[in-house]
Amino acid sequence: MEKVVIMIDAGFLSKVSHKLGEGHYFRYDLLKFSKRLAGKQNFIFKHLFFYNAPPFQSSNPSPDEKKRKEEYDSFVQKLNKNKEVTIREGRCQRLKIDGKYIYKQKGVDTLLTMDLMDMPIENPKIKTVILIASDSDFVPIIKRLKRLGIEVILHTYFERDRKSKFSTSNKLLKVVTRYVRLNKQDFQECKL
């Protein structure tokens, strides 16, 4: 069987977990989750690239901000102990819109795109990547990887309503080798 690399946009996967968990996040083993997805596609798991942003910290962090950061640091520390995992971190931006704070990841998609570009150089034996994301910004790099003989299998979640936060571009769905919709079972079978 062929080896595969898995690349996960953590912000997107978190939203899917919350949606499929009906307002609650699944507690699951990320590495087991990744290996299970690889096995479902008849691949051998080689490596996980996990793209995330640490939680926002103001200049004088609130107790909630401190708690979120401690939990995040503990999670990252555990993942970093495994040589099968590479963590790439962007940053978290806080914006105030209409009196409410909105938080957005910055730089995460760029890091993921860079690693996709490096795949043929850094891992020349890898011919398939499983990408867990939904952003159409990945379309150009996926096209380039196809020209280089690398297939991209998209694991995603979407709803057909264009106004949904889970609206996925048809261009993304068409450019990948194939796509698979994430479901509750994917999380439930990897419970902590």
Please report the pLDDT score of residue 167 as a whole number: 59
Residues in the chain: 192
Domain of 178 in residue numbering reads as 3-188
Amino acid sitting at position 52: N
- Percent of the chain as helix, strand, coil, to the nearest 5: 40, 25, 30
**What's the whole-model pTM score?**
0.92
Q: Are 49 and 5 in contact (CB under 8 A)?
A: yes
Please report the pLDDT score of residue 121 as a whole number: 93
Which DSSP category does 107 fall into?
S
DSSP 122-179: H-TT--EEEEE---GGGHHHHHHHHHTT-EEEEEE---S-TTSTT---HHHHHHSSEE
Please report the pLDDT score of residue 158 as a whole number: 83
DSSP 32-45: HHHHHHHHHTT-EE
Consecutive sets of 10 residues in the chain, 192 residues long: mean pLDDT of each? 96 94 94 96 97 93 93 93 96 91 91 95 95 93 96 89 65 93 95 90
Please report the pLDDT score of residue 162 as a whole number: 61
Please report the pLDDT score of residue 125 as a whole number: 94
Task: Specify the long-range contacts of residues 56-65, CB closer than 8 Å, at least 24 apart.
Answer: 56/92, 56/93, 56/94, 56/103, 58/94
Q: How many domains does the chain have?
A: 1
CATH number of the CATH domain containing 134:
3.40.50.1010
Please report the pLDDT score of residue 36 as a whole number: 96
The CA distance from 25 to 17, in Å, is 5
Please report the pLDDT score of residue 165 as a whole number: 65
Please report the pLDDT score of residue 170 as a whole number: 82
